[in-house]
Chains A and B, each alone.
Chain A
């Protein structure tokens, strides 16, 4: 086979692989950005009627976008947890209740994302923000407590076993002393 330069070959493999890999991935728009007006989302929290809410304001070229479907989510280890969807009002805002019972990090901070689902022209536009107010992670308890199932035995169990075994072998020791007495008796 012909000798091929390493760098070009690697690039080529990537291009060859890309279509095969891309078969599993959703199609992303390849239209150049310049011909599409981009939607901008800003995220904030607000307390309305005593209830904390997440507001996403969608604007296009500075003007609020109405009737856009916005989905709110928080990333979890294995996937994206959808918190809710809302349609933007005439002021371009969509809101959902803040998930204050959703576990965040140690201080209760959550990464919230908002993404536009429709209209198709702006679909895919998204923004993330870090917000406080989620549930704090409870500190992990003792991973290996003294228990029947853990590597560490309950103290009571240890005490009982030691006592019983010591009792039996202690009496054997006593017997050994008697044997010594018998041996000694032979010499007298």
Chain B
């Protein structure tokens, strides 16, 4: 009887200790890891060991490739994005989330938040600009080796095992969505763990092109791309055109056709005939100040 109680107490204490250790480990991984801190983790065999944060990789943002060849995409889908400029406050968290997930080197951005100057008397606006994954893409037309191509789910991807670095696609894209690896890439060791796929674009190769990829590995698993899920304002909606629905980071799911009609959606530089797959909702009734305005100005402007 005494042994049972002692056993129970021992097990209870161990449970409590491990529970605390587990919770604190999780919180520590979540927070920015400091280089000299070591974290307790449960090892195979039941041991508790200590490792440095750099050895811990969070696998929540590393689903498998939707298509192992990286060339075909998933059948039956047509990914589409809607960006609500009324909700965009220019915070740049989308840029950050994408950059972190793709190990993008500093100075380069796959979805920069541009400041569109107002034409004539119009006010300026914040303008997150991913690759538009056009349906009539000027970039894939000019690639001499089929290194950049459009998959059946509408995504335009780049195969960096094929790219010869001629930069014709960069010259051809009117939206400036592409970047080039001019020098030797400086990917962190974490980037190599996953193996290369055109669906996420790392580990990088010198002398090749890269750009926003619509996170097809995530989309195929029902997870929003990083820019969309990372937007604190819920300004970036993503969905399947075939389902007629788009969702933002807050889980707000809307009928795509209704949203585009009611909010007078448009595509950027429509007249160039590129048929972008990213629609913008004009910032009528802005929720946040326009670039260069203070909060007071925005209130005066009068919603």
A and B touch in the complex (CB under 8 A): yes
A interface, CB within 8 angstroms of B: 1-6, 8-17, 19-21, 76-82, 101-103, 137-138, 140, 143-144, 148-151
Selected contact of A13 from candidates B22, B76, B224, CB within 8 Å: B22
* Residues on the A chain within 8 Å of B246, using CB: 78
Contact A14 B22 (CB under 8 A): yes
Contact A150 B140 (CB under 8 A): yes
Classify the interface of chain B: helix, strand, loop or mixed.
mixed
A6-B45, A9-B14, A103-B244 known; A80 vs B253 contact (CB < 8 Å): yes
Q: How distant is the Cα of A15 from the Cα of B22 in the complex, in angstroms?
A: 8
Task: Tell me the residues in window 70-122 of chain B with beta carbons closer than 8 Å to chain A beta carbons.
Answer: 72-73, 75-76
Q: How distant is the Cα of A2 from the Cα of B49 in the complex, in angstroms?
A: 11
Tell me the number of A-to-B contacts counted with CB atoms below 8 Å: 122
* Residues on the B chain within 8 Å of A81, using CB: 245, 253-255
Which segment, of B144-152, B196-204, B283-291, B295-303, faces chain A? B144-152
Q: How distant is the Cα of A138 from the Cα of B137 in the complex, in angstroms?
A: 23
Q: B23 at the A/B interface (Cβ < 8 Å)? A: yes
**A18: shortest Cβ distance to chain B, in Å?**
8
Selected contact of B14 from candidates A8, A20, A21, A82, CB within 8 Å: A8
Task: Tell me the residues in window 1-50 of chain B with beta carbons closer than 8 Å to chain A beta carbons.
Answer: 11, 14-24, 26-27, 30, 42, 45-48
* Residues on the B chain within 8 Å of A77, using CB: 219, 222, 239-240, 243, 245, 247
**A157: shortest Cβ distance to chain B, in Å?**
11
* Residues on the B chain within 8 Å of A21, using CB: 26
Contact B150 A149 (CB under 8 A): yes
**A121: shortest Cβ distance to chain B, in Å?**
25
* Residues on the A chain within 8 Å of B17, using CB: 12
Selected contact of B243 from candidates A11, A76, A144, CB within 8 Å: A76
Contact B18 A13 (CB under 8 A): yes
Please name 10 further chain A to chain B contacts, defined as beta carbons within 8 Å, in addition to the given A4-B46, A149-B137, sorted by A numbering: A2-B14, A4-B18, A9-B14, A13-B22, A76-B253, A78-B239, A80-B251, A102-B244, A103-B243, A140-B75
Query: Would you mind naming 20 contact pairs between A and B with Cβ atoms under 8 Å apart?
Result: A4-B48, A6-B45, A9-B14, A9-B46, A12-B14, A14-B22, A15-B15, A15-B22, A16-B19, A16-B22, A76-B253, A77-B240, A78-B222, A78-B247, A78-B253, A79-B247, A81-B255, A148-B141, A149-B136, A149-B137
Q: B242 at the A/B interface (Cβ < 8 Å)? A: yes
Q: B252 at the A/B interface (Cβ < 8 Å)? A: yes
Q: B132 at the A/B interface (Cβ < 8 Å)? A: no
* Residues on the A chain within 8 Å of B222, using CB: 77-78
**A74: shortest Cβ distance to chain B, in Å?**
8
Selected contact of B11 from candidates A6, A8, A14, CB within 8 Å: A8
Q: B214 at the A/B interface (Cβ < 8 Å)? A: no
* Chain A residue nearest to B73 in the complex (CB): A143
Contact A12 B22 (CB under 8 A): yes
Q: How distant is the Cα of A81 from the Cα of B255 in the complex, in angstroms?
A: 7
**A101: shortest Cβ distance to chain B, in Å?**
8
* Residues on the B chain within 8 Å of A103, using CB: 242-244
Q: How distant is the Cα of A44 from the Cα of B75 in the complex, in angstroms?
A: 32
Q: B238 at the A/B interface (Cβ < 8 Å)? A: yes
A12-B14, A102-B255, A150-B150 known; A17 vs B238 contact (CB < 8 Å): no
A140-B76, A140-B152 known; A17 vs B245 contact (CB < 8 Å): no
* Chain B residue nearest to A5 in the complex (CB): B46
* Chain B residue nearest to A139 in the complex (CB): B76
**B23: shortest Cβ distance to chain A, in Å?**
4
* Chain A residue nearest to B24 in the complex (CB): A16
Contact B15 A8 (CB under 8 A): yes
* Residue picked from A19, A77, A140, most chain B C-beta under 10 Å: A77
Q: How distant is the Cα of A6 from the Cα of B48 in the complex, in angstroms?
A: 10
**B139: shortest Cβ distance to chain A, in Å?**
8
Q: How distant is the Cα of A77 from the Cα of B239 in the complex, in angstroms?
A: 7
